[in-house]
Amino acid sequence: MIRRYLILGVSAAMLSSVPPAAFAAPDCPPGLAKKSPPCVPPGQAKKMPMPGATAPLPPGAKMPPPGAARIPPPPPLSGPDAQARTKAAPTARPAGAMPPPPARLARPLPSEAERARLLARARAQLGGRPASDLEDLRIRMPDGRPMGPMPLRGPAEAMALARIAPGDPIDPAAARLVEDPLSLGLIPPGTASWRYYHVDNVIVRAEPVDLKVLQIIAAEPER
């Protein structure tokens, strides 16, 4: 603290030795020569811009957005580019609307050997019915109406159950695809044989069933 006061004292003494005329501008009126910058009326020195600062905007002018002067606007598209951008642009969803459902898993087509094996097993179970009838077989509810949807837990179950689809012959081995009896819900533990009800490749119900009395009912023709 003492050193600071000494330095300030020396500075004040040095400045006091300089005549006041050294700070005066040659063309300033009396009483305004000692202002910084010179020739500025009292109270206006603080409103002047600092050296290197941007000059104040004129009245009514607005500050441009950041980067507007450096990045020019993109040119308007025409032709195929405009159509592609229009199709790729996301559409605004109205407030309260539900999101679109997720895409369904694609079911891989069985090979010819696997399809022949499944048809042979289904034909043996149904007493030698022709293969043309087996193409339209589907598991149906006794009254023909599907139950409420039952969500799958995890992609592994969805991929395993995707093997059972409308139009495919029902393989009894497919009843053991899911190892955990509670993975689909509403299935009592300890059940080894299941029956699946599906609509458009989506399992809508699973219930325990005895494979010995498994009934495969032909689907009704669409009206």
Q: Is residue 85 part of a domain?
A: no
Give the structural domain span for 122.
112-218
CA distances from 175 to 89, 97, 162, 191, 193 (A): 44, 38, 12, 10, 6
Q: Is residue 187 part of a domain?
A: yes
Q: Is residue 206 part of a domain?
A: yes
pLDDT at 10 over 50: no
Task: Say if pTM beats, i.e. exceeds, 0.95.
Answer: no
Question: Looking at residues 131-151, what average pLDDT do you find?
Answer: 38
| Nearest CA among 163, 159, 188 for reference residue 175 | 163
Structure token digits, residue 31: 């009483």
Question: For the residues of 28-83, what is the DSSP string, one character each?
Answer: PPTT-TTSSSTT--TT-GGGSPPTTSPPPPPTT--PPPTTTTTSPPPPPP-THHHH
Q: Is residue 46 part of a domain?
A: no
More confidently predicted of 211 and 114: 114
Tens of pLDDT, residues 36-59: 555 655 555 555 555 555 566 666
Q: Is residue 191 part of a domain?
A: yes
Structure token digits, residue 182: 């509670």
User: 198: how many CB neighbours lie within 10 A of its CB?
Assistant: 18
Task: Give me the number of domains the chain comprises.
Answer: 1
Tens of pLDDT, residues 67-89: 555 666 666 666 666 656 555 55
Confidence of residue 92 (pLDDT cuts 50, 70, 90): low
Distance CA 172, CA 214 (A): 9
Mean per-residue pLDDT of the chain = 50
User: 118: how many CB neighbours lie within 10 A of its CB?
Assistant: 19
Distance CA 192, CA 179 (A): 8
CB 184 within 8 A of CB 190: no
Q: Is residue 63 part of a domain?
A: no
Structure token digits, residue 153: 């837990």
Q: Is residue 31 part of a domain?
A: no
Tens of pLDDT, residues 99-112: 665 554 444 555 66
How does strand 202-208 pair with strand 194-199? antiparallel
Q: Is residue 61 part of a domain?
A: no
